[in-house]
Structure 1
Amino acid sequence: MTKKYDAIVIGSGQAGTPLCKKLAEAGLKTALIEKRWVGGTCVNDGCSPTKAMVASAKAAWGARQSGHLGIFAAGVTVDIQKVIERQKEIVLRMRSNVEESMAETKNLDVLYGEAAFCGVKQIEVTFTDGKKQLLSAEKIFVNTGLKPKIPDIPGIGDIEYLTSTSLLDLKEIPEKLLVVGSGYIGLEFGQMYQRFGSAVTIIEGSERIMLREDTDIAEEMTKILTDEGLDIQINTKVVSFANSKDGIVARLKSGTKVSERTYTHVLLATGRVPNTAVLKPEASEIKTDEKGFIIVNDQLETSVKGVYALGDVKGGPAFTHVSYDDYRIVAGNLLHNAHRKTSDRILPYCMFTDPQLGRVGITQQEAEKQKLKVKIATLPNSWVARSIETGDTRGMMKAIVDKETGKILGAAVLSNEGGEVIAVLQMAMLGGITWEQLRDSMFAHPTYSESLNNLFMNLDE
């Protein structure tokens, strides 16, 4: 028999978790289907655990680098067991909070199992004990997220590789770590384990890291990481993997040159793919693109009326705050007739290397591609009072402004607390504040945000 609900939410990520509660509180009989743990990637093996470990790595690096501040810490060691225990405790605490809030929500059934469409607006759930149940609802919301992409490299099935998920359970510090890929995951984990004590090599097939960012930002990040000892190999690809008595042998090709290097561990940071294969959206006539991402309109509705996709599974920027804002759009439109659209929002994000890279809006290279008339402001952190005082002048600030209106179109802040400074620029963009207004605004001294005065003074020259 088919059990009928008013609404079904598949996946308890940063959209699915608040959405199922909001729908149930609005009086809709709601089912949440989760195949693993509530909280999604962010809570369980994304933001929360990784940023906890990044904090540990930063503390270790800071202690070793504090001599120029007059502080000498001898014999700094890393207890990776303690690092892992701490991040596990944080994850468990956050997950438990989500579980408790769901248990207290009326009209909400939490079902642990794997969901697959078996007809239009019909779902079969395979529970963890193997039993099955058919469900149906007029409104269905898919928030199944992404999983690590495993590249098709000869020999990859023969080695014990790591992903961003499995690395969180590794209770040893790799002696020699090869990171395949230089995206956010590759750079964050690469720097983290270099600071823990690994010898880290990052492989990137393109001419530079961070292709989506401007060249000057990427070059500055490259300098920061290489100064810490990371070996970044650009224009290089892995030809094959093989096991040896000394570890994992990677055959690397750079141009016409082929070499072999041996590593103790390999991390695959080559992107992520949508969790839609098992979901079988085609059985419900839900359209996907060639990569398996669910296609939606600007109100997040799929090709089937009443069926929505939220978060990473729909493609586009894969960030927790995007997923949560997807929830606000869908909940606002369905429950409050809000008429919100994804095309109305400004996208901020932050890469949690150290220093952080905070970003909002468009880059200079995007502005040039769109043939926009812009002015570019840049400021090295060696000119930032707060950076000088704290003893860390790595990085830079950059802003792209409209030449005619003076409004800010985008910015990058590679700095300590770069994510916080970028929020100031995002607020300016939301409010239509011009660069002249920011240049002339009074900020508290000495803060990183205060240097926005100096950043925009450069446009006067």
Structure 2
Amino acid sequence: MKARRVYAGWPKPAHFDRNLVVIGAGAAGLVSSYIAAAVKAKVTLVEKHRMGGDCLNTGCMPSKALIRSAKLLSHMRRSNEFGIRSARAEFDFADVMERVHAIIKTVEPHDSVERYTSLGVEVIEGRAKIVSPWEVEIARNDGRHETLTTRSIIIAAGARPTVPPIPGIEDVGYYTSDTIWTLHALPRRLLVLGGGPIGSELAQTFARFGAAVTLVVKGRRIMPREDAEVSEMVMARFRAEGIDLRTGHDTRRFVVENGEKILIAEHQGQEVHVPFDVLLVAVGRSAQLKGYGLEELGVPTGRTIDVNEYLQTSFPNIYAAGDVAGPYQFTHTAAHQAWYASVNALFAPFRKFRADYSAVPWATFVDPEVARVGLNEQEARERDIPFELTRFDIADLDRAIADGEAHGFVKVLTVPGKDRILGVTIVGEHAGDLIAEYVMAMRHGLGLNKILGTIHIYPTLAEANKYAAGEWKRAHAPQKLLEWVGRFHAWRRGSGGRPTAAARPATPSQR
């Protein structure tokens, strides 16, 4: 009945040109169209700009390539820690950026028109507009126009950097995470607005190349979604590497005085002036909601497109996935949602699946790296969810000691009295890789006992996961049973049933 009401006034075609039309060729769009082609549906993918979306062209790939080069420089500065008396590097920042763009070019074929065409997807380069629940009007980049009828539509239009309307910002000029990759000269003084993942990653990266970086945030700390101790650990590293952290600074306006660009902010009731040469705005990303027919159809939107648990919009045959749908803005969650959106779009009403967000991981690729899945302490306390906390300090991990990276921790939240995992935070080298074991455990209902009973190669960083499980087990050891077992072994020694000494706790390498 509800569907009939929403479709009232929209004539439904008797036949359809396509089973599915996908708008946007970022992670969600690529995966959606690939799945449709794999199950032999007739699918068209429309992209107005570049295949691969933000992740390939302006996000994940270029940022990680730049981070890798900066990390090499940071290791050279630490050469004496590794027994090397001195090490130095000569570089031109333009060459570094050339490498970044070369890496994009290397990965580009994976997301290319040619590849997806070979997989059975019709790829059209142009602009799409939904003109009815079953019709998509396409203006091709070559000037041609056409209208396709389709049984279902998936919107995967992505997001764009948010630029706040701060007075004077247009006068001083700025870069965002979309445009910073056009920079070929290292800024002498870089001002970064925003302490989320993007701002934090790029602030540290540019500082390692030698820029004088000032990071300005309105709150008391960077990375506010993480536990306070996580933020403090990262902030301590930033300060040690020379980043000027300005927390509690409320940006008021930008001015140019005597040819110099200046940020004017308020801090503890006082006006503060921060001079800079280049501005990077990294205060978040906004879903792309305009330009492809949502307003005309009356599809409800807020910060994102309103979707239900099946990723359906107010029109049951129109779905949304990725950044444009929320609630997460990660490439891997866009791909995850794309599976649900495409399967539901192709097989509803015969079969539908609710999108599962029970174990969504993410990582911030600062140094030390930070990775999360599920709840952290901050969220559990805010939501009044009971938990037990188990912690293993990576400073005790043999491989981390050998690598000169003996810092950070694994922190696990579990149901009180049980080994069921509620959430995990890892801070340290390759945290984004280490978290995968816990993601799988949470997704498939495996507890810490299963992780403890799994063989981990020695010496590896992954042993930290097992040792964290061991810490939980030791805290839940059956003391009365162990006391009885101690008497049993004493009896077998002929000691009259009295244990002679308590066992010394094992070191990590003995565990």
TM-score for both structures, normalised by structure 1: 0.93
CA distance in 1, matches of 2:287, 2:216: 24
Give 1:231 deviation, angstroms: 1.3
Which of the numbers 322, 328, 331 marks the counterpart of 1:311? 322
CA distance in 1, matches of 2:373, 2:367: 18
What's 1:274 paired with?
Answer: 287
Residue type of the partner of 1:300? L
What's 1:425 paired with?
Answer: 438
SS in 1 for 2:64: helix
CA distance in 2, matches of 1:136, 1:76: 58
* Unaligned stretches of 5+ residues in structure 2: 1-12, 476-511
2:392 pairs with 1:379: yes
What's 2:337 paired with?
Answer: 326
Judging changes above 3 Å, is the alpha-carbon distance between structure 1 residues 304 and 246 closer, same or farther for their aligned structure 2 residues?
A: same
CA distance in 2, matches of 1:379, 1:102: 45
Which of the numbers 80, 89, 104 marks the counterpart of 2:93? 80
Confirm or deny: 8 A CA contact 1:42 1:320 kept in the other structure.
Answer: yes
Give 1:403 deviation, angstroms: 0.8
Show the 5 A alignment for 1:341-420.
341-343=354-356, 345-420=358-433
Q: % of aligned pairs identical?
A: 29
Larger Rg: 2
Confirm or deny: 8 A CA contact 1:121 1:284 kept in the other structure.
Answer: no
Which of the numbers 125, 129, 136 marks the counterpart of 2:138? 125
What's 1:39 paired with?
Answer: 52
Give 1:283 deviation, angstroms: 1.6
CA distance in 2, matches of 1:124, 1:453: 54
CA distance in 2, matches of 1:12, 1:51: 21
CA distance in 2, matches of 1:247, 1:34: 41
What's 1:51 paired with?
Answer: 64
1:325-349 CA-to-partner distances (Å, cap 9, x unmatched) read 1122233445576643223541011
1:216-250 CA-to-partner distances (Å, cap 9, x unmatched) read 11111111221111111111121111224453211
Residue type of the partner of 2:331? T
2:300 pairs with 1:287: yes
Confirm or deny: 8 A CA contact 1:30 1:109 kept in the other structure.
Answer: yes
Report the number of matched residues.
457
1:167-201 CA-to-partner distances (Å, cap 9, x unmatched) read 11100111111110000000010011001111111
SS in 1 for 2:31: helix
CA distance in 2, matches of 1:220, 1:200: 18
CA distance in 1, matches of 2:326, 2:447: 32
Residue type of the partner of 2:338? Y
CA distance in 1, matches of 2:457, 2:39: 43
Show the 5 A alignment for 1:201-350.
201-289=214-302, 291=303, 293-335=304-346, 339-343=352-356, 345-350=358-363
2:205 pairs with 1:189: no
2:162 pairs with 1:162: no
What's 2:500 paired with?
Answer: none
Give 1:129 deviation, angstroms: 4.6
What's 1:116 paired with?
Answer: 129
Judging changes above 3 Å, is the alpha-carbon distance between structure 1 residues 26 and 457 closer, same or farther for their aligned structure 2 residues?
A: closer
1:385-435 CA-to-partner distances (Å, cap 9, x unmatched) read 221111122322211111132211111111111011111112222333333
Give 1:206 deviation, angstroms: 1.0
1:46-77 CA-to-partner distances (Å, cap 9, x unmatched) read 11111111111111111111211112444323
SS in 1 for 2:413: strand
Confirm or deny: 8 A CA contact 2:394 2:464 kept in the other structure.
Answer: no
What's 1:8 paired with?
Answer: 21
Confirm or deny: 8 A CA contact 2:376 2:424 kept in the other structure.
Answer: yes
Deviates more, 1:200-209 or 1:88-97: 88-97
Which of the numbers 88, 91, 103 marks the counterpart of 2:117? 103
What's the C-alpha RMSD, in Å, of the aligned pairs?
A: 2.1
1:94-114 CA-to-partner distances (Å, cap 9, x unmatched) read 2233222123244x3322222
Give 1:441 deviation, angstroms: 4.3
Confirm or deny: 8 A CA contact 2:93 2:186 kept in the other structure.
Answer: yes
Q: More strand per residue: 1 or 2?
A: 1
What's 1:150 paired with?
Answer: 163
Residue type of the partner of 1:301? Q
Confirm or deny: 8 A CA contact 1:8 1:31 kept in the other structure.
Answer: yes
